[in-house]
């Protein structure tokens, strides 16, 4: 029987995947291994990815959002300094606006070679950059309950994080091109509704015994339980450019897990969103297409209707108000309210910059400047 890892309830960990760019051309450069050698003081918090133009930071397990903010600021600062010393820069967004996936160097590790052998053309295109948030929970069944119920809110998180309107020098018309590229892989998107922990383990076992995966880290759903860490991991967001945006999104994720944890322990807590899988999928599509400028489908008392995403986010923030207060997240949720009120995410900022300059290099330049704390 799988032991569920011990973690402090509602502790938080954040992972951010960065682009390594050349400040003269603003194109991607394959220098991750070189950066790792230089960044020894924070080596334990760094990870390579499939391509050498990507470097990931992972915070320590943080007790609260203030500690998470300190971690992110420290790691971004140090990695930015190391990159500058090498003549490079970091940039945080869901895709690079004009880089070509065919030009990228694959990280020289057996794991990545095996991944590409399995995924083939779809894997070679995965030149994308996301934010992953882990939140500590107390039991297997609680993790499954939260995995099932937080799906209702994943389109909201995606809409708030959209930060990838360009792909291969093209304005795609999507606010999150990243998630659409990612959807081409197997074992991505929304997981099924699990009847309980045993059902989840049955699904995992089928993948392993069927030869599809070696371990749970090769299941890439938008949300997944992590028994080894004692967390639920939410993986749907584009990487936000600014520290304040990234921390605010992580705080909202933490608040949602807290509130859903209360609902798990107290069946009297009403969850205002209990949508079927197909409606959540449709809202997810609308979020990646329109960001904060679209509408979601909602169902109430048997009636189905549309509601502006902006209004849905207000309702979600009301749902998490108790969690916001208990966890001390008022500052971060104020940032979320501002993003929603102004309907202005990283994708909107990139598009505005391109409209003003007609130059994708200037989009990367601005993104890089805003990435540093």
In DSSP notation, 80-119 reads: HHHHHHTT-EEE-SSS-SS--GGGPPBPS-HHHHHHHHHH
Helices (H) and strands (E) in the chain, counts: 15, 13
Measured CA to CA in angstroms, residue 153 lies from 71, 201, 282, 326 at distances of 26, 24, 13, 20
Is pTM beyond 0.75? Reply is yes
> How much of the chain, in percent, has pLDDT values that exceed 90?
90
184 pLDDT exceeds 80? yes
Round to whole Å and give the CA distance between 137 and 68. Answer: 17
57 pLDDT exceeds 60? yes
> How much of the chain, in percent, has pLDDT values that exceed 70?
99
What confidence tier does 370 reach under pLDDT thresholds 50, 70, 90? very high
More confident residue, 218 or 71: 71
CB 126 within 8 A of CB 185: yes
Q: Say if strands 220-221 and 223-226 run parallel, antiparallel, or are unpaired.
A: unpaired
What confidence tier does 268 reach under pLDDT thresholds 50, 70, 90? confident
CB 164 within 8 A of CB 238: yes
CB 307 within 8 A of CB 273: no
What confidence tier does 7 reach under pLDDT thresholds 50, 70, 90? confident
Which segment of 1-10, 58-67, 75-84, 177-186 scores lowest on mean pLDDT?
A: 1-10
The whole-number pLDDT of residue 346 equals 99
SS3 call for 237? strand
Tell me the pLDDT tens digit for each residue of 283-320. 999 999 999 999 999 987 778 899 999 999 999 999 99
Tell me the pLDDT tens digit for each residue of 13-54. 999 999 999 999 999 999 999 999 888 889 999 999 999 999
The whole-number pLDDT of residue 2 equals 57
CB 140 within 8 A of CB 229: no
Tell me the pLDDT tens digit for each residue of 109-156. 999 999 999 999 999 999 999 999 999 999 999 999 999 999 999 999
Domain map (residue ranges) of the chain: 12-371
75 pLDDT exceeds 90? yes
CATH topology of domain 12-371: Creatine Kinase; Chain A, domain 2 (3.30.590)
Round to whole Å and give the CA distance between 152 and 336. Answer: 18
């Amino acid at each position: 029987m799988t032991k569920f890892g011990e973690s402090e309830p509602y502790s938080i960990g954040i992972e951010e995947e960065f682009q390594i760019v050349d400040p003269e051309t603003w194109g991607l450069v394959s220098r991750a291994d070189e950066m790792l050698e230089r960044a020894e003081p924070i080596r334990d918090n760094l990870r390579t990815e499939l391509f050498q133009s990507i470097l990931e930071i992972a915070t320590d397990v943080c007790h609260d959002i203030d500690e998470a903010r300190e971690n992110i600021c420290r790691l971004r600062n140090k990695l930015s300094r190391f990159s500058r010393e090498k003549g490079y820069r970091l940039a945080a967004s869901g895709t690079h606006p004009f880089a070509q996936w065919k030009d990228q160097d694959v990280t020289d590790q057996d794991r990545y070679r095996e991944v590409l052998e399995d995924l083939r053309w779809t894997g070679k295109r995965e030149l994308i950059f996301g934010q992953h948030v882990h939140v500590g929970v107390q039991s297997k069944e609680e993790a499954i309950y939260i995995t099932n119920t937080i799906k209702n809110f994943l389109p909201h998180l995606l809409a708030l994080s959209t930060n990838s309107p360009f792909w291969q020098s093209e304005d795609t018309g999507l606010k999150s091109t990243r998630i659409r590229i990612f959807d081409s892989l197997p074992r991505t998107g929304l997981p099924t509704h699990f009847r309980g922990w045993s059902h989840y383990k049955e699904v995992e076992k089928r993948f392993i015994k069927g030869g599809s995966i070696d371990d749970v880290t090769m299941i890439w759903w938008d949300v997944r339980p992590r028994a080894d860490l004692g967390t639920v991991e939410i993986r749907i967001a584009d990487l936000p450019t600014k520290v304040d945006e990234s921390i605010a999104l992580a705080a909202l994720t933490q608040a949602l897990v807290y509130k859903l944890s209360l609902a798990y322990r107290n069946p009297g807590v009403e969850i205002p969103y209990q949508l079927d899988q197909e409606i959540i999928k449709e809202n997810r599509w609308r979020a990646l297409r329109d960001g904060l400028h679209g509408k979601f489908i909602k169902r109430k008392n048997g009636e189905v209707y549309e509601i502006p995403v902006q209004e849905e986010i207000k309702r979600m923030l009301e749902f998490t108000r108790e969690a916001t207060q208990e966890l001390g997240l008022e500052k971060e949720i104020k940032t979320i309210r501002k993003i929603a009120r102004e309907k202005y995410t990283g994708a909107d900022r990139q598009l505005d910059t391109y409209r003003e300059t007609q130059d994708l290099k200037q989009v990367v330049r601005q993104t890089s400047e805003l990435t540093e704390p």
